[in-house]
Structure 1
């Protein structure tokens, strides 16, 4: 399916007043579709699967910023450490330590977002507030990762008021964490929340990174 450039321009117009950035979620989509969106000006692309991301990185322009937005296993960090720009879903100290280790081997500093569980579904990954604070208290001495903010996924529901509450909760948590752990710095400022169906609410509630796929690339084929 062709890339929907009309929707792409519409999303970019929505982002501008909020100074937010678009992560074009290109998982399961061919390199040609990514190239088409790249040619339209997009530079940040999000992938969920390590092998697929590595393959695409080898085929596409080197100034693409690759964001890993899926659940990352520690034993696969080494494959993306040479090039990944940001990891959105860090949900354990073990994973953060492994990213630091592999980033050091590649002479890099990798931006990371800590994933917080804000949805009602138990199937979604993420830290609760106590786990988040505990991780941050033990995250010192990792010079090759930069904890840049938080990431969360709202509940899969038609109740937009609930979605807004969950986004607002995540923004409040980001402010509290920044005040407690990152006072006097400007590193902890990213908030990755909002997808194709709820990104406008996410922007209103403080998102700086929206993860949008189907609006740009069409429905996914997992067959």
Structure 2
């Protein structure tokens, strides 16, 4: 099993390298977040031993359990799922990135909890780039207000934007959604400051569309199935 996961992981890394070659980018500019939801700790530990450090979970309890069971390792933890404000207190002690902030209320809670333990938390603002009602994220026109609010925070660092594209058999059809996220980032860079708001990252692209996302400027890709195999829900 471990051999299978390593071969799948290396295949994904190869896809990233080729995608970067095709658009003239450095593969080292892409952070691969391995999304391990529902998969055993052994898979995560095997990848850690192989040199993969960024891992994502989409449920707060699953992330809390994973961080606890893996322990104090070199793992970098990303929360990527629908964020309930009352769950933030359970993750701030160890999570490194919260990628799914989409309202000021969540930023306020992250700041409150992080300040209590004097710990810096990196966050991304999730934007609904697909227009689908079932997907989380702020509306594009709400982004400026959220970033303006974030400018005054001390323990919360807004490092960029996150978006989930429409699932499509042909990934080319979602290129405009990725392009929208990059355009939104570029149009809001005037809100950057020296500390709280630095919009260098775009987290977009998953197993089926990572190549298109990279060609449109992704700096983080969130890959689950292509590494861990199909999930048991």
Provide Cα deviations, 1:125-172, integer angstroms capped at 9, x if missing partner.
111121111212222321110000000011112243321111011111
Give the superposition deviation at 1:8. 0.9
Q: Which residue in the other structure is 1:74 paired with?
A: 85
User: SS of the counterpart of 1:22?
Assistant: strand
Aligned match for 1:119, one of 115, 130, 142: 130
Aligned match for 1:105, one of 104, 116, 138: 116
**Contact kept? 1:46, 1:68, Cα under 8 Å:** yes
**Contact kept? 2:126, 2:161, Cα under 8 Å:** yes
- Please give the alpha-carbon distance, in whole angstroms, between the structure 1 residues aligned to 2:122 and 2:93: 13
Indicate yes or no: 2:75 matched with 1:64.
yes
Give the superposition deviation at 1:21. 0.7
- Please give the alpha-carbon distance, in whole angstroms, between the structure 2 residues aligned to 1:22 and 1:139: 26
Q: Which residue in the other structure is 1:5 paired with?
A: 6
User: SS of the counterpart of 2:211?
Assistant: helix
Q: Which residue in the other structure is 2:48 paired with?
A: 38
Indicate yes or no: 2:35 matched with 1:25.
yes
- Please give the alpha-carbon distance, in whole angstroms, between the structure 1 residues aligned to 2:193 and 2:215: 24
- Please give the alpha-carbon distance, in whole angstroms, between the structure 1 residues aligned to 2:31 and 2:151: 28
Aligned match for 1:177, one of 184, 188, 198: 188
Give the superposition deviation at 1:61. 4.5
Indicate yes or no: 2:143 matched with 1:143.
no
| Count of residue correspondences | 221
- Please give the alpha-carbon distance, in whole angstroms, between the structure 1 residues aligned to 2:82 and 2:75: 21
Unaligned runs of 5+ in 1: none
- Please give the alpha-carbon distance, in whole angstroms, between the structure 1 residues aligned to 2:224 and 2:143: 28
**Contact kept? 1:4, 1:215, Cα under 8 Å:** no
RMSD between superposed Cα atoms in Å: 1.7
- Please give the alpha-carbon distance, in whole angstroms, between the structure 2 residues aligned to 1:55 and 1:78: 14
TM-score by length of 2: 0.89
Give the superposition deviation at 1:184. 7.1
